[in-house]
Structure 1
Amino acid sequence: MTREQFNLMSFLEGYVRNYRKLNLHQATNRSMFTKREIDYFANLGEMLGLFSFVEDTKPNLDYGRSRPMDLSWWKWDERIDKENYLYVVLHLERENLSRKDIETIDKLFCATEEYYLPHYVIGIQNVETKERINYLNKLVEERNLKQGSEVLMIYRYYDEVNSLDRIEAYHFNELSKIINNRNAISIVDNTGYWCMAFEEEYETWK
């Protein structure tokens, strides 16, 4: 089956540059961060002509039961199959709690039926420290060797020295090797809303 050709780093650029449009206020609770970010990617999938589903069912053979995906994109083409979706284009997980970082990776790379193997994976995860990222990336490399997805992992952590949030994003190819990475900064602007910019562009904000 032909794989959809998407550039995950372009998805990252859109996510960063449109973050202010999510209207996340400094008083907004964390569950709303998850909802707005998932909604952003759900809308993006639909604009790309795909079918987006929130809390979609996915068989988890590791646990012997189904577990929901935070978001999935499915490919439909009635010229090929009039009754079924062709395949899962994307599986996305978004997690606020740093203590669930390994669980997030488990969900993205669980053993499942072939029909549910995603071509692309996006994980958005709050982490406790920068040092934790190397450990989590090694888990992604190990788990994705069998799955063979193209992966974008977006990690967010608080920088106490500079009083801002840092974002580190890593792009893994289908062979589970990191081929690109990019960093961003997230702060509350002077109106009280969260916004984001790439690290190299942050100087223009000051």
Structure 2
Amino acid sequence: MNDAMFMKRMFHGYIRNYAALRWHVLNNYADMTSLEISYFSKLGTLLGYVPVREYADVPPAQHHYANKSNPRDLVWLNLEENKVILHLERENESSNYFNAVRNVKNKLLDSAQFPEDRYLVGVFGWVTDADYSGMIGFVANNNHYQKKNVMFISYIGPTKNEATQIVCDIFPKGSHERCEAWAELDKGGYWYAHFGPAPSAECQPLPPPAVPRWIQIKAGTNQITNQRT
């Protein structure tokens, strides 16, 4: 399994297991942050890694700071070499994406400058269309990110409560692919997610389970070059 397929499988599992998080309308967004970080922590454990929350990285020689990094939301450590295999950041506000993605001294962009061949994962509980476009454009043209395997899961909408479009962008060392899913409420007030077309307000027969459809994006642009499942 190559890096691109590994990131795709992480997203497929995330969507298909979303209902198991049991996030109810009465929960708040801090609850969701905790649930999602716990989900990825358990996934790391099942894959044989050691998940660590609030992990402080020791910078490489000649890094732009000498002390340990600011705490990472979650990392997976390789037990054999004690190296970071995956670094995840989770944000709830559209305005926070800048610090998570574009701050050269913090979070994901700082982590992208470490020498290990680590996965960089961002889960953004709400971003506006404008912030999403700016975030993806920045990553697609940043030299540090282009040397890493990057995966962003973004909930897009005009407001936090309307952010039901789930878009996953993966950047396997320079290339770019995208997949779309949707979040909906069940009759009990719990959220679930699915692939396939956008939700409809009309009552319709339940369709067969949809499969994820990945589209290939031209490097450094937002142009679709290929469509495939």
TM range (shorter): 0.7 to 0.9
Match of 1:141 in 2: 140
SS of residue paired to 2:170 = strand
Change (3 A) 1:200 1:58: same
Offset at residue 118 of structure 1 (A):
4.9
User: Cα offset for 1:147?
Assistant: 6.5
CA contact (8 A) 2:112 2:145 kept: no
Q: 1:27 is paired with a residue of what secondary structure?
A: coil
Where 1:101 maps in the other structure, the secondary structure is helix
Unpaired runs of 5+ residues, structure 2, are 208-229
Q: Deviations over 1:41-93 (max 9, x none)?
A: 0000010011111111125755665201111011122xxxxxx51x2110000
Tell me the number of residue pairs that the alignment of Structure 1 and Structure 2 aligns. Answer: 192
**1:107-135 residue CA offsets vs partner (Å, 9 max, x unmatched):** 111167746x4521110113442232221
TM-fit CA distance, 1:202: 5.6
Structure 1 residues 199 and 74: alpha-carbon distance in aligned structure 2, compared to 1, 3 A threshold: same
Determine which of 189, 192, 217 is the counterpart of 1:192.
189
Given candidates 173, 176, 179, the residue that maps to 1:182 is: 179
- What does 1:16-165 correspond to in 2, within 5 Å? 16-59=15-58, 61-62=63-64, 65=67, 66-77=69-80, 85=82, 87-105=83-101, 106=103, 107-110=107-110, 114=114, 117-143=116-142, 145=144, 148-158=147-157, 165=164
Measured in 1, the distance between the counterparts of 2:21 and 2:79 equals: 28
TM-score for both structures, normalised by structure 1: 0.81
Q: 8 Å contact 2:156–2:164 — kept in the other structure? A: yes
CA distance in 2, matches of 1:109, 1:164: 25
CA distance in 1, matches of 2:117, 2:65: 19
Partner of 2:226: none
Question: How far apart, CA to CA, are the structure 2 residues paired with 1:29 and 1:146?
Answer: 32
Cα deviation, residue 191, structure 1: 0.6
Identify which range, 150-159 or 56-65, moves more after superposition.
Answer: 56-65
TM-score, length-normalised on structure 2? 0.73
Greater helix content:
1
Considering only aligned residues, what root-mean-square deviation do their CA atoms show, in Å? Answer: 2.8
Counterpart contact for 1:109–1:143, Cα < 8 Å: no
Name the structure, 1 or 2, with higher relative contact order (CA <8 Å, separation 6+).
1
CA contact (8 A) 1:58 1:112 kept: no
- In the alignment, structure 1 segments of 5+ residues that lack a partner are 78-83
